[in-house]
Structure 1
């Protein structure tokens, strides 16, 4: 988080000192996750105003982007790994996931051309993920790490073979998925965004937002259909 300097604030139509988040991609970073959409700004544009507390993309350049700042602290700073999460937080997070399930496909950025057409086909979704993992992760990294995987007995065509063996899956409706949800990027609103509940006699927090959305997808949870081994 950094405050906007006067010249930049004027260009963005914001007050000087307004806190923002500047994200600078690292060219040397290895691809280690599947990305359904490459442009986070498009995702934020689709979700801003639809889901609570989604940052707004203020500026997008090839070497940097500026997002509005979502005030709060990471859940990991309040509740580290191994510590049970407060029930109110779990309820708020469940509410956010429920709202994500209501985001329509038409509201999202265009999906890749080879995305499943049937919005309930779990088998096709899992097969697509396997192919994407091969193209986006395995292939770019194989020259550097292929020897290590070969030594461990993992062949270069492991993911494509997996895609060919995906069993029939239970049919479930597709929805917006957050594929990188963990305690470090779940933000608990600060005291200024809490309110007193007379009915419970406790301070209640507003809906918990996620501050990073590049690792989202559109699909469904998968499990084999009944009778499939």
Structure 2
């Protein structure tokens, strides 16, 4: 069967709806445009189309998000979207509600315990899913499955992906800017050293993108986890670190989440939290270093307005990159981080000399190899 992650044309979508035209809502995310349509009475499904001119810098392990969701349903994982099959094509069910980000945008970054408790239950269920329980087809190489406790090897594969699929292909366009910001090939060596000696933990399924916009709160106050396209198999502590990095909890709540996570997952599967107190700060630092190259590329390209430099956006871009580089200084071994003025000047020089007709791309089909 085919998947609706890269769906059919709008005309085909219309054919599948109950009266040939019902599209209730359209949502524009970073990577996709999502349309919600009615297939049968009270059955709403969503179709996603990749947005044009969007860079794909994320490692993908599973061939089909919908097949993975079907697998999760078979494993009785709660609060994940259902899948509707129409003419041998899989479509995700639409979850009514609001994202956790929208629901609490007016509050502090703190998330009510009624929701964090549900998130902890999601982690408990995920850590129980061993690699051999997953039937959904994976793009991952055989090396990905060679040692289901090799936490260092897991992070090494993420570094290799960033080095080979992001840094090297985009070096011709960004070499000068990378150099002025103090990042380059040596950054990967330092990043490897920053996570040397991690404790071994049993691998499980990871969502790998648990942030506020991927958490839907339904009218009954239940959390639903959506957007599983970046799911992978690996170190469960990496999933927690990614979650904390993206959620930006207040410090006290972040500490509580980490402590409760260790208690919950250890009860669910022995060894899953082994060494977490020492390793979590290192993996959090790794996340900050891991994202630098993609952030630099995306921020700099956002300043281009059909060949003209967006000077109004330049100060904001400089502030953002300065913050990103400061956060990554430790894991990348940056001795000196350029100040905001220096970053702004580097961006201007890059835009003046770069051949933006050669925009960077990443081969999505091979991005999990």
TM-score using structure 1 length: 0.74
Q: In 2, are the aligned partners of 1:35 and 1:216 still within 8 Å (CA)?
A: yes
- Per the alignment, residue 177 of structure 1 pairs with 206
Q: Which of 40, 49, 52 does residue 15 from structure 1 map onto? A: 40
Q: Which of 127, 151, 156 does residue 156 from structure 2 map onto? A: 127
Closer/same/farther in 2, CA of residues 77 and 167 from structure 1, 3 Å limit: same
More contact order relative to length (CA 8 Å, sep ≥ 6): 1
Closer/same/farther in 2, CA of residues 8 and 138 from structure 1, 3 Å limit: farther
Question: What 5-or-longer segments of structure 1 have no aligned partner?
Answer: 195-204
Which structure has the highest helix share of the two? 2
Q: Deviation of residue 59 (structure 1)?
A: 6.1
Question: What 5-or-longer segments of structure 2 have no aligned partner?
Answer: 1-12, 22-37, 239-275, 280-369
Answering whether residue 115 of structure 2 is matched by residue 89 of structure 1, we say yes
Closer/same/farther in 2, CA of residues 85 and 164 from structure 1, 3 Å limit: closer
User: What is the distance in 1 between the residues matched to 2:163 and 2:70?
Assistant: 29
User: What is the distance in 2 between the residues matched to 1:45 and 1:33?
Assistant: 22
Deviations 1:3-59 (A, max 9, x none): 9622669xxx95146322111013532123232335323322322343123224446
Q: In 1, are the aligned partners of 2:45 and 2:84 still within 8 Å (CA)?
A: no
- Per the alignment, residue 101 of structure 1 pairs with 127
Closer/same/farther in 2, CA of residues 17 and 66 from structure 1, 3 Å limit: same
Answering whether residue 232 of structure 2 is matched by residue 217 of structure 1, we say yes
User: What is the distance in 2 between the residues matched to 1:147 and 1:116?
Assistant: 38
User: What is the distance in 1 between the residues matched to 2:19 and 2:147?
Assistant: 49
Q: Which of 102, 110, 115 does residue 77 from structure 1 map onto? A: 102
Q: Which of 164, 173, 176 does residue 147 from structure 1 map onto? A: 176
TM-score using structure 2 length: 0.48
Q: Deviation of residue 122 (structure 1)?
A: 1.3
Root mean square deviation, CA, Å: 3.3
Answering whether residue 78 of structure 2 is matched by residue 52 of structure 1, we say yes
- Per the alignment, residue 198 of structure 1 pairs with none
User: What is the distance in 2 between the residues matched to 1:38 and 1:155?
Assistant: 31
User: What is the distance in 2 between the residues matched to 1:147 and 1:37?
Assistant: 35
User: What is the distance in 2 between the residues matched to 1:40 and 1:147?
Assistant: 37
User: What is the distance in 2 between the residues matched to 1:181 and 1:216?
Assistant: 10
Once the two structures are overlaid, the 10-residue window that deviates more, 85-94 or 152-161, is 152-161
Answering whether residue 48 of structure 2 is matched by residue 32 of structure 1, we say no
